[in-house]
């Protein structure tokens, strides 16, 4: 089978399993600029792969994404008999382990959400305003949303009276309802009344979180603002973890903090995990279970629970 056709078969196969697969699909199609798409899969050379992955210095997220896309495709191609072996260099077949997500402390979160810090970080910004940026950050943490889910919300997706968000067409092409707490519902209600959209006609399909001209927030604009905010708020990573905590780590922090709260309340965490998984929009429990071992504090809470259980204390279950 031709390389080009094999790639399209792989993309269709992944998407049939409920994954959008947009980034990897685009990267695999870009790879065809380095290899002959009309030749067989085994005609691809190691040099062509290296040219596509080319980069010097530390491994970037973009290079990792290209690596994962190619590695996944060749595993598929070999399993289907489209290729006999992978052309990826041995050193690239197992990308370096990514640093674990950063779990923000309560103090770090307070500094990130501080209106003065946000105002300082956005000095000179022409599109993104402070109120919108702060509301976005609070949603990523307070509701555990993905960036794309939060920025895709329209006015019709937000019901502040019932404190419900409708998340449409998510990572796994499913929609879900996300209830939010009264504090976040109040913040959203306030945001709806002061949205700084200048001279733009509003409708039910208008973005909840928009630039001043009504357009959807872009990841590059928000990431630049968040990098500045981290510096202004003096928020850094920890030894053995990420040097620069990410915007997406707000979602991870939401999940870990929720689990820690359940442990402290003496709740049946194993029974509640499926509920957290559904809330976060995970396709299965494996994506949620990883949070159980993510921080020393969480492990300490789990150990304390087990000690009480073993000793027949108040947390014991029949």
Counting Cα atoms < 13 Å in the Cβ hemisphere of 146 gives: 14
Q: What is the mean pLDDT of each run of 10 residues along the chain (318 residues)?
A: 94 77 90 94 93 69 83 91 88 58 93 97 93 96 94 94 89 81 94 74 86 91 95 88 87 92 85 89 76 66 54 42
What phi and psi, each to the nearest 5 degrees, are found at residue 288? -95, -35
Cα(33)–Cα(54) distance, rounded to whole angstroms?
14
- Residue pair 155/192 in contact (Cβ under 8 Å)? The answer is yes
**Active-site residue set:** 146, 171
The pTM (predicted TM-score) of the whole model is 0.69
In 94-203, alpha helices (H): 106-113, 115-121, 130-142, 147-152, 182-194
Between strands 164-167 and 158-159, the pairing is: antiparallel
The C-alpha atoms of residue 70 and residue 77 are separated, in whole angstroms, by 10
**21 exposure class (CB count in 10 Å sphere: 0-12, 13-18, 19+):** buried
Q: CA-to-CA distance for 254 and 234, rounded, in angstroms?
A: 20
């Amino acid at each position: 089978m031709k390389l080009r056709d094999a790639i399209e078969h792989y993309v269709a196969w992944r998407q049939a399993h409920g994954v959008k697969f947009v980034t990897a699909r685009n990267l695999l199609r870009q790879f065809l600029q380095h290899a002959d798409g009309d030749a067989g899969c085994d005609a691809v050379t190691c040099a062509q792969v290296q040219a596509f992955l080319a980069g010097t210095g530390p491994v970037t997220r973009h290079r990792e994404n290209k690596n994962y896309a190619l590695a996944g495709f060749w595993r598929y191609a070999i399993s289907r008999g489209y290729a006999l072996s992978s052309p990826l260099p041995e050193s690239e077949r197992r990308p370096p382990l990514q640093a674990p997500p950063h779990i923000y402390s309560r103090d770090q979160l307070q500094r990130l959400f501080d209106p003065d810090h946000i105002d300082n970080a956005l000095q000179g910004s022409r599109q993104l305003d402070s109120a919108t940026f702060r509301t976005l950050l609070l949603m990523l943490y307070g509701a555990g949303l993905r960036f794309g889910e939060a920025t895709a919300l329209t006015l019709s997706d937000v019901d502040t009276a019932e404190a419900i968000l409708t998340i449409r067409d998510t990572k796994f092409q499913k929609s879900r309802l996300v209830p939010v707490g009264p504090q976040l519902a109040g913040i959203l209600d306030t945001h709806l009344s002061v949205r700084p959209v200048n001279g733009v006609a509003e409708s039910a399909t208008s973005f909840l979180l928009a630039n001043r001209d009504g357009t959807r927030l872009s990841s590059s604009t928000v990431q630049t603002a968040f990098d500045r905010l981290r510096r202004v708020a003096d928020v850094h990573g920890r030894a053995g973890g990420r040097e620069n905590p990410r915007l997406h780590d707000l979602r991870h922090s939401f999940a870990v903090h929720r689990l820690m709260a359940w442990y402290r309340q003496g709740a049946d965490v194993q029974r509640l995990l499926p509920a957290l998984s559904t809330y976060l929009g995970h396709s299965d429990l494996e994506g949620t279970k990883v949070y159980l071992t993510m921080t020393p504090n969480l492990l300490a809470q789990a150990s304390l629970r087990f000690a009480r259980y073993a000793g027949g204390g108040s947390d014991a279950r029949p």
